């Protein structure tokens, strides 16, 4: 029983794939103007019910679990039909050190995690001791007599901090006039996570942590190289196409082994696994292609935001921007190490090498051109329309708002800008 069902439920809430990364001010290479802050407040809501197996087939998160009598026939089959929901609030702050150099911090807070195991039962062979086959009630009454409650719906992680994210972006093509005039930009982005999230309670069967690994979002150390082309000629800058190449690393961590203190039949691992085990989740490698379009640029009003300067007003972001993005992510093999090689493989088998195919669409409305320092956006991220392999298919909605502001060093046109013009 321990070997069969515990690996299924104990890790059920991993792989929500939120990518709670620092939200930069626009596209893949954009940075903030010098001395400008950007406050970004976003809410992620994610739903996860399916996974891709090693053959690339979409199926429920976990396989059916047959239960046998010791030396006898089939008692029945447990059918896990797990559903997981996350709600995460992410306040972020970005600052433009230079026009081409920005730094940022994101502080994800998990508002709730809802997990519904939805365990059902298919009766097995005829049991002569009962005069019938085991029913679902028979099985769980037996389990409860051994001190093992039936896993049920759980709502947890109410206001729990996840791993904070620090980031820096440098657009190195700003010092190459020919590329700048051609509308080509390239940037290097570095991001790292601070270990502020909480690990899942090892003694709970239905549970979820708030670390980068539990959310299966971005790695703990990330490097992105991005290139964008803004077609300034005939398209008047209304279309931007970008490419992003990334490598994101996870580090090995040590975890406490469940001892079965609250779930003796499902989580008594310590006698053969050891007091602790280690896990290297496996890194991410991938690429993104993004297209941004501007169907409506809007009027450029010389408001107080730009010091009544019409030229600065024309440089403000458009009112309406639409975006579409495709991301391919290769996920490397996980590596579990404990005193039990069989236990390790049972988990590594679930997290074998695989890949994600992610489609994302966004809509952003900026009111800067109208004199209000505010932008709002909505994004949808899908992993079920295009297949994957050995990954979880989470779909995520994001709703957010951005407020730019300055505290010091009000930005005017520099002598260098005038010379460039």
Residues 6+ apart with CB under 8 A from 131: none
Q: Which residues of the chain are under the pLDDT cut of 50?
A: 1-17, 20-25, 411-421
Task: Give DSSP secondary structure letters for 63-120.
Answer: --EEEE-TTS-EEEEEEE--EEEEEEEEEEEEEEEETTEEEEEE--EEEEEEEE--EE
Whether 386 contacts 7, CB under 8 Å: no
CA 38 – CA 95 distance, rounded (Å): 6
| Nearest Cα residue to 284 out of 354, 336, 344 | 354
What pLDDT is recorded for position 42?
A: 96
What pLDDT is recorded for position 410?
A: 54
What pLDDT is recorded for position 417?
A: 46
What pLDDT is recorded for position 10?
A: 43
Task: Give DSSP secondary structure letters for 166-208.
Answer: EEEEEEGGGG-HHHHHTTEEEEEEEEEEES-S-PPPTT-SS--
Residue with the two structure tokens 């019938």: 132
Percent of the chain with pLDDT over 70: 90
| Structure token pair of residue 352 | 């074998």
What pLDDT is recorded for position 143?
A: 84
CA 417 – CA 414 distance, rounded (Å): 5
| Structure token pair of residue 30 | 């954009």
Domains of the chain listed by start with CATH number: 11-70+81-116+155-420 (2.40.160.40)
What pLDDT is recorded for position 19?
A: 53
């Amino acid at each position: 029983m321990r070997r069969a069902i515990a690996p299924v439920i104990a890790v059920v809430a991993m792989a929500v794939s939120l990518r709670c990364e620092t939200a930069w001010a626009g596209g893949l290479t954009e940075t903030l103007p010098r001395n400008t802050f950007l406050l970004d407040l976003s809410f992620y809501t994610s739903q996860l019910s399916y996974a891709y197996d090693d053959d690339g087939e979409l199926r429920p998160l976990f396989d059916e679990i047959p239960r046998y009598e010791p030396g006898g026939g089939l008692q029945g089959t447990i059918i896990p039909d797990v559903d997981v929901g996350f709600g995460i609030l992410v306040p972020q702050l970005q600052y433009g050190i230079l026009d081409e150099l920005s730094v940022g911090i994101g502080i994800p807070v998990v508002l709730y995690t809802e997990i519904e195991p939805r365990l059902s039962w298919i009766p097995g062979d005829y049991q002569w001791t009962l005069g019938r086959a085991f029913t679902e009630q028979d099985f769980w009454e037996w389990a409860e007599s051994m001190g093992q409650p039936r896993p049920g719906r759980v709502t947890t992680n109410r206001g729990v901090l996840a791993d904070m994210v620090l980031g820096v972006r440098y657009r190195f093509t700003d010092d190459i006039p020919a590329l700048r005039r051609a509308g080509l930009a390239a940037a290097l982005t570095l991001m790292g996570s601070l270990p502020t999230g909480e690990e899942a309670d090892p003694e709970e069967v239905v549970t979820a942590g708030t670390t980068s690994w539990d959310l299966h979002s971005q790695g703990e150390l990330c490097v992105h190289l991005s290139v964008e082309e803004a077609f300034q000629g005939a398209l008047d800058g209304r279309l931007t196409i970008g490419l992003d190449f990334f490598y994101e690393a996870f580090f090995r961590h040590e975890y406490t082994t469940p001892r079965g203190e609250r779930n003796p039949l499902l989580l008594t691992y310590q006698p053969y696994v050891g007091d602790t085990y280690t896990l290297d989740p496996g890194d991410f490698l991938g690429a993104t292609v993004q297209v941004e379009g501007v169907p409506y640029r809007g009027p450029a009003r010389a408001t107080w935001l730009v010091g009544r300067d019409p030229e600065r007003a024309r440089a403000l972001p458009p009112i309406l921007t639409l975006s579409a993005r495709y991301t391919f992510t290769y996920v490397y093999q996980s590596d579990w190490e404990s005193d039990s090689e069989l236990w390790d493989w049972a988990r590594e088998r679930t997290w074998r090498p695989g890949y994600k195919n992610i489609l994302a669409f966004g809509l952003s409305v900026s009111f800067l051109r109208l004199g209000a320092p505010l932008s709002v956006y909505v994004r949808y991220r899908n992993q079920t329309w295009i297949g994957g392999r050995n990954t979880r298919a989470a779909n995520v909605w994001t709703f957010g708002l951005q407020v730019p502001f300055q505290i010091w060093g009000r930005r005017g046109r520099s002598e260098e800008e005038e010379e460039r013009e």
